[in-house]
Structure formats: structure tokens, C-alpha cells
Amino acid sequence: MRAWSRSVGGKTGASARAGYTTAFLTAAAVMVTAGALALTTIRPERDAHRLGLDHAVAGATPRERKIPGRPGHR
């Protein structure tokens, strides 16, 4: 094999391509797994209730929400 056909680290183009393919597919598998896990475990309503924010109205100002420690809380 000629020197001009080798890439960085002495690997040939075919093995470098295989390495990029493996890395891309591994990253894709991790992202799909993390996305599926997030879809099954993240529950905004449950988390808001657990944090005591279930009475908060989405889009309301802090005064309208009456959040403890904020102006307007009674």
C-alpha cells in the first residue's frame, strides 16, 4: 500500500470510514435510548405537584401565581 493512500494514524480510508460509521451509530443509539427514557419518566404534572407548584398557572405572573417568597404572596 502506498503512503499517499493512508490517513492519520496509519489507517486506510476504509477503516476510517468504518470508524466514523460506528461512532455515528453509537451516538444515535445513545440519543434514541435517552429520548425513550425521557418520554417514559418525565411527567411535568407529577414533578410540579412534588415541588408544590401544582397550583401555579402556566403563563401567569409571579403575583398571580402566589408563589412563596415572591411579591404579592399572602
Compute the average pLDDT of residues 64-74.
Answer: 57
Is 69 within a domain? yes
Range of the structural domain that residue 56 is part of: 42-74
pLDDT by residue (tens digit) across 3-43? Answer: 544 555 566 678 989 999 999 999 999 999 999 999 999 98
Q: How far is CA 17 from CA 10, 20, 51, 54, in A?
A: 13, 5, 48, 51
Q: Is the dihedral of CA 26, 28, 31, 35 positive or negative?
A: negative
- Total number of domains constituting the chain: 1
Is 31 within a domain? no
pTM of the model: 0.50
Measured in degrees and rounded to the nearest 5, phi and psi for residue 9 equal: 80, 5
pLDDT at site 50? 85
Is 64 within a domain? yes
Is 52 within a domain? yes
